[in-house]
Every structure is written in C-alpha cells, then in structure tokens.
Chain A
Amino acid sequence: MHVFDGCIFPFPSGTVSIARYTLDLHDLGFTGFVAAGISSENKTYDPEVWTARYLTRIPARLLGREAGKTLQKNELVYVQAGDARYNRSVLTTPGVHVLTDVHTTPKDGFDRYCAQLAAEREIGVDISVRPLVELRNVARQKVIRKYEEILTLQNRYEFPLVLSSHASDITHLKSPREMIRLLSLVWKEDDVLKKSLDSIYQIKNRTDPVMEV
C-alpha cells in the first residue's frame, strides 16, 4: 500500500530542504509525498517525490491554459478552491488533479454538484491537518464543520480524498497515524481516512475518460 503525504512545501516556500523532507517522511512511515512549488528534478529519492503546481488565485478563464502547461512535465496540478461557481469550473477543467484549501471556501462553496463532478472526473479533494493544528477556538470549529461536510459528501459520492500535512516547517510534519488521529475529530470511520492516504497514487495513475469520436 502506498502512503503519501498529499502536499508539503519545501524551500523556498518553506524552511526545509527536499532531501531533509525525504529523510524525515521516510522515518514517519510515508512511501512518498507531493512537493508543491518546486520544479521537477531528475533526482530520485527513496520515498517517491512527486512535484505539483500549486495554483492560487487563477482566474477561471485562465485555468485551462495553466493546467495544460504541466501535461508534458508529469507534474500534478493543485488548484486552490474558491466559491461554488469557481470550484465547478476547476472541476470541469481537464488536467486538474486536486482541489485544495476547501476549508477556506465560503458557505456552500463545495456542494453536492461539486462532489459529483469530483467523483466523475476522479479529482481529489485535499484535506489538510495544518488548520486543525494551527487554528484555535471558533476558527478551528469552522474548519471541523467544513471538513465534516466534505466527508459527508465523500461518503455519498465517493470522490477521492487526499490527506496532507501542508508542512512548510519541520514542526508541521505529521505521521500517518497522527493525521488519522487528528481527522478522527471530524470523522469517526478510520477506514475512509486510511484509504485516503494512497488516493493521490490512484489520481495520478487515473485513465482519462473514454471520449466519443
């Protein structure tokens, strides 16, 4: 079974080098991770390292062009979520792998139609444990409620979930067990969460939908 950390930010976005992340995540029990914000290197590491483009605040009309840039480079495309209309256009854009930062969306930003689209197109929805650790009081309660909504929709539509630490510092790294423990605040069924640890592998190796010629 593959155990992936869905998203980490190495230097220059964070304070940790990619080699150090490799060492630490291997010790934590991960078999691979996705590094956002760096260009892909030819170097191979022991826990598999995949690179991702982390697209933030991209206007909907430019999404197709931005997501298409990575088709040659074998990179993943993460797009930061916005309101419901924006999320729908993200989920219908070819080349997008993961919708991220869903906890920052406004009310009903990720509705059942978005869930249906994500399930049909095998686009992952990223759930980060970092806001659960960093936020306190009402802000954390809002994140827990939002994650609960997402997991309820996941239970119904079965779109892929991607668990990530969103680590930019060594203190943000979490082991798979810690991630599941933290997300057990939101969802009591551990099986769904455990399965989500390798969903990024399936998303990357997904086959494109059959096209009518």
Chain B
Amino acid sequence: MRLRPSMRENFRYILAVITPGLTFEPRDLYKAIAESVMSLYGDSIAAQVWPSVMKVEGSFVIIRCRRGTEHYLETALSAISLIQEIPAGVRPIRTSGTIRTLREKIQPCTDKRDGKAVVSGITCDVVVYMQGRIDLKEKGIYHEIPRYITKEDTEDLYYDE
C-alpha cells in the first residue's frame, strides 16, 4: 500500500556490532534477530517491532525497527548468543532516526591483519586487530593457551606478508 509521506511509518535505526569480529549474511542475521525478539516477547510485540536488517558492513550491522520499540529490539539484540549455530553476540552501539548518521559511526575494518604469534612457546596463526587485540584462528588444537589475547600475552608476534 502506498501512503502519503505524512502517513508513513516512523522508523528507528540501530547500529550494532557482531562480536567477535565475525561477518554474516543479512538473512542469517535477520533469522537470529527475529528468533530472539519472538522468544523474548512473543508474536504480538515482534509484529510491533518489525525488525529488519538494512545493511551489513563487515561486522557492523544496521537494523530497522518501528519508532518507540527500540528498547525491545536492543534487549533482543543483547540476548542473541548464536547466529547460524556459531557462538556470536550482537552489541547495540547507537540508535538514530537516519541511516546516514549511523554510517558515519561505522569504523573501517582495515586494521585487521593475519600473522603468527608465539604464546607460551606455541606458534599459532592469529588475526591481529586494532589496539593489540589478537584472536587465535584455530582454537581446537591449542588447549593450554587462551583463544582471545593481546600483544601483552605474546612472546613474539610477526605478520604474514
């Protein structure tokens, strides 16, 4: 149904970040968000909230909801623990009335580099993020070291060419 601008629905947009730096398809994100809203509030509120994934940029996502239902959506986003059976969290950062404002807040994900780190005498493949955050690529084979570390925890760190 085509409505006059004055009769159109007012929306709010929420910028959220997926932890730990993963990227998903918009469809998978929508499924996780819709499931979370439904299980927390039921069909009635889910229909009111009307969540929709507008844009996915790296690990950032912009989600739309009806104005006045932002707090439902924020709570539901915080309650997500799995996306496509992969453990992940969705952390709301900012709410706005326009997508453009939120786009300005998205940090470019260029500060991510692959490398190798020596932790407790074990050399492992890692991803190095900004501010010295380091994630081990394969956790299954290293039981004696933590998966999420910082430069401080490494004995040696070198980047792949």
* A residues in contact (CB < 8 Å) with B: 10-12, 14-17, 19-20, 23-24, 129, 132-134, 136-137, 140, 169-175, 177-178, 181-182, 184-185
Q: Interface residue count for B (Cβ, 8 Å)?
A: 29
Please classify the interface of chain B as helix (H, G, I), strand (E, B), loop, or mixed, using the class held by over half of its residues: mixed
- Determine whether B92 belongs to the interface, using a CB cutoff of 8 Å to chain A: yes
Expressed in whole angstroms, the minimum distance between the Cβ of B144 and any Cβ of chain A is 8
A20 touches B148 (CB 8 A): yes
A171 touches which of B87, B131, B133, B145 (Cβ 8 Å): B87
Of chain A, the residue at the smallest CB distance from B146 is A11
Given A11-B146, A19-B152, A172 and B89 touching (CB < 8 A)? yes
A-B pairs with CB below 8 Å: how many? 78
B75 touches A23 (CB 8 A): no
A17 touches B74 (CB 8 A): no
B39 touches which of A16, A23, A137 (Cβ 8 Å): A137
Identify 24 residue pairs between A and B in the complex whose beta-carbon atoms are under 8 Å apart, listed by A's number.
Answer: A10-B146, A12-B146, A15-B139, A15-B148, A16-B146, A17-B146, A17-B148, A17-B150, A20-B148, A20-B150, A23-B131, A23-B133, A129-B78, A132-B79, A133-B78, A170-B148, A171-B19, A171-B89, A173-B89, A174-B91, A177-B92, A178-B92, A182-B78, A184-B75
Q: In the assembly, what is the distance between CA of A14 and CA of B87, in Å?
A: 14
Closest 9 CB pairs of A and B: A11-B146, A178-B78, A15-B147, A171-B89, A16-B148, A17-B146, A19-B150, A19-B152, A17-B149
